[in-house]
Amino acid sequence: MNIVIVGGTGDLGFGLGYRWAKAGHQIVIGSRQKERAMEAAGRINEMTGTQNAKGLANEDAVLEGDIVVLAVPDAARAAVLELIKPLVQGKTVVDVTIPLRFNPLRYEAPEEGSNAQQTQAVLGEGVKVVAAFHTVSAAMLENPEKEVKGDALIMGSDEEAKNTLIGLADDIGLRGFDAGSLLNARTVEGLTPMIIGMNKRYKRGHIGIALTGI
Ligand SMILES: NC(=O)c1ccc[n+]([C@@H]2O[C@H](COP(=O)([O-])OP(=O)(O)OC[C@H]3O[C@@H](n4cnc5c(N)ncnc54)[C@H](OP(=O)(O)O)[C@@H]3O)[C@@H](O)[C@H]2O)c1
């Protein structure tokens, strides 16, 4: 399965790309600069001992797969959505972004209810938006010494797309769960300020969440 990661040179995108490439998936790292994408893909290939990753400019990368992960900072999101909108119709777009605000650190949802719902509104009904991986630490994914642990709450309206992402979470050692529709994305996106605060208080970099009784 070809998985495209827009912003795959960054922490979370790189970490997901590394883990998926290690699990045998074909990864296309996207960047504003093709050279940066190629460099990140080269590092993934070196770390995994495979040739499973390649790098392209974002707009070329999104043409290469049916699953497109949007792994850019919240401030870059609007412009990136406009760039990819005509290129991702009919595809699955995985929104991992979180609208964080600072001083004090907090979650501030857009008027659509969450970033994922706004992404769906901007890209239109022709795109299957899935919200995922908000509570999964990039520091854990990127570090080959760390075992991947934790639960991934996956949300979306397209059952097939959601199940694909649950499988992709399982493939890298997480436990993927169906957490319902995008209406729940606000709840899960909103956990991040708490997790960042706990990482500071407990002097950790990779706190995640785990469900019980399931
Ligand atoms: N870090 C985590 O542990 C974590 C966990 C869960 C969710 N998230 C969410 O995942 C998203 C990515 O987080 P991150 O920590 O990986 O971010 P990041 O490393 O700061 O940025 C990711 C990539 O986005 C691209 N980018 C930066 N500014 C851009 C702009 N103005 N326009 C287009 N692309 C731009 C950059 O790639 P190029 O310069 O190569 O284009 C950068 O490498 C965020 O929304 C974050 O809230 C992060």
33-49 pLDDT per residue, tens: 999 999 999 999 999 99
Q: Which tens digit of pLDDT belongs to each residue from 19-37?
A: 999 999 999 999 999 999 9
Ligand 1 in contact with 10 (CB < 6 A)? yes
Closest approach atom of ligand 1 to CA 80: 33
49 CA to centre of own chain:
23
pLDDT band at 1 (very low <50, low <70, confident <90, very high): confident
Going by CA atoms, what residue is nearest to atom 26 of ligand 1? 72
99 SS3 class? coil
Q: What is the pLDDT of residue 91?
A: 98
Q: Which tens digit of pLDDT belongs to each residue from 118-173?
A: 999 999 999 999 999 999 999 999 999 999 999 999 999 999 999 999 999 999 99
Beta-strand (E) ranges in the chain?
2-6, 26-31, 53-57, 67-70, 92-95, 100-101, 106-107, 128-131, 151-156, 175-178
pTM of the model: 0.98
Closest approach atom of ligand 1 to CA 70: 11
Location of structure tokens 């070329």 = 60
The neighbour count for residue 124, using CB atoms within 10 Å, is 11
Location of structure tokens 């999101």 = 77
Ligand 1 in contact with 94 (CB < 6 A)? no
Q: What is the mean pLDDT of residues 91-110?
A: 98
Q: H or E element: which one contains 149?
A: none
12 C-alpha vs ligand 1 centroid, how far in Å?
A: 7
124 CA to centre of own chain:
19
